[in-house]
Chain A
Amino acid sequence: MTQDTPSEHGLGLDDDLMAYVDGTLSPERMAQVEARLARDPEARAATASWRHHNNLIRQMAQTADDLPTDMRIAALERELAAKLQARKRRAFLMGPALGRIAASVLLFTAGWGAHGLFSASTTMTGAAYPQFVSATMAGHYAMRQISMQQAEFQADEIDTALDWISAQMQRKIDSPELRRLGYEVESARLLSTDDGPLAIFYFRNEEGNSVTVSVTPHAPDQPDYAYRVVRLETESMAYWTESGLDYSVIGDVDVGQITTLAAAVRN
């Protein structure tokens, strides 16, 4: 091990020189550093050495590509990929975004009877539990969501609801417009979740079909959710991220109808 004085490391602490060697500078900055290197032989020698050492280490590392295939490693790769795939699936089903969407499903199905509630819960968790377990779980989630409820508004209070929801989310929130598709808003709720406020709008058409739309600010540390349509057991669902908000549309309709409804919300 070596003991070095700070002055000996001056060049090594120069971020521009480091980035130059590693090829991470913009073309403009690269030209500036090259001009500097033309005038500074010490920096030129240092960067040439660093780059040469990098190349030697990389060349040695790349000889690993010529090593014979290790069957044990190949088997472990497959096992790891399968585990990660399962992890990805679980995270999708149980993650905060879908958890909130699941809450929407539960809240909206709760108004249409226990069967809808239980079937939605079973589908969302993707697990083959006995029905009484699924029912208990659904009840548990429903109770938890009710405890998160900040406010509930009826159809004639939607304007007030939008003002309140906009204030809570600190941005202008408009009511999803589904009237031209035959759906009238019935009520709206605002939930307070661990990830922030979640606004839920309930719609119904003359045939009695119900649709739930939720809007919530997108968590800044999460990637945007690409638009996706999912067929559940008795419902369909679409969700996506747009302009910093996460949206979900869930209804007891087929995939084609949910796509039309989601398009209306997006517009």
Chain B
Amino acid sequence: MSLKTEVTSHTKSLRRYALVLTRDPAAADDLVQETLLKAIDKADTWQPGTNLRPWLFRIMHNTHVSDLRRAKTRTDAAPDLPEPVVQDHQHTQLELKQVLQALDQLPEAQRKPIILIALREMSYAEAARTLDVPLGTFMSRLGRGREALRRIVSGIASGKLAVLSRKESL
């Protein structure tokens, strides 16, 4: 595979990751552009022979962290997040909305491992390198995050059910 083909394939993956991180196509493309610009600047730090994908994802991760810092807190930004870009069955859309809402409640350290592995773009070890943490720490954050996500989604779902039951009983 030529480097150009490889870069194109990785950019596609970066765009997917950026869309989940930002929830907005325009913001996702901005993040991808910023990542590629930084990668061009840092091209001399890439070690030929090593996998390009974790290197690029790592740059995106750091770029996103800086962006979040600039935006002060994610909590402040959350109410402005647009609706997820999903055109699917209504039930799936509702479930996705709940999962994204739950993801927002997780600490950044748990959210990113969940997203990176869900994309099926890299191994545990590569994802750990991307986030610059030891593999053991990564696995622990992934596992804790998944369990926390499950509990929050379950809470959100039961809360919505309770609201629906109250509406029906009125």
- A-to-B contact residues, CB < 8 Å: 1-2, 4, 8-9, 11-15, 18, 22, 24, 46, 49-50, 52-65, 67, 70, 72-73, 76-81, 83-88, 91-92, 222-223
- B-to-A contact residues, CB < 8 Å: 2-4, 6-8, 11-12, 15-20, 25, 28-29, 32-33, 36-37, 39-40, 43-44, 46-49, 52, 84-88, 92, 95-96, 99-100, 103, 105-107, 114-115, 117-120, 123-124, 139-140, 142-154
Complex interface: chain A residues within 8 A of B48 (CB): 84, 87-88, 91-92
Interface residues of B, dominant DSSP: helix
Q: How far is the CB of A84 from chain B (nearest CB, A)?
A: 5
Complex interface: chain A residues within 8 A of B115 (CB): 57, 61
Complex interface: chain A residues within 8 A of B16 (CB): 61-62, 64-65
A76 touches B95 (CB 8 A): no
A83 touches B86 (CB 8 A): no
Complex interface: chain A residues within 8 A of B88 (CB): 59
Interface residues of A, dominant DSSP: helix
B3 touches A61 (CB 8 A): no
Q: How far is the CB of B15 from chain A (nearest CB, A)?
A: 4
Complex interface: chain A residues within 8 A of B86 (CB): 59-60, 63
Complex interface: chain B residues within 8 A of A9 (CB): 143-144, 147-148
Q: Name the residue on B nearest A70 (C-beta).
A: B29
Complex interface: chain A residues within 8 A of B12 (CB): 64-65
A63 to B20, CA, bound (A): 10
Q: Name the residue on A nearest B36 (C-beta).
A: A76
A84 touches B147 (CB 8 A): no
A81 to B146, CA, bound (A): 36
- Given A54-B118, A59-B96, A60-B86, the answer on whether A81 and B147 have CB atoms closer than 8 Å is no
B29 touches A4 (CB 8 A): no
A137 to B28, CA, bound (A): 48
Complex interface: chain B residues within 8 A of A80 (CB): 7, 36, 39-40, 43
Complex interface: chain A residues within 8 A of B47 (CB): 91
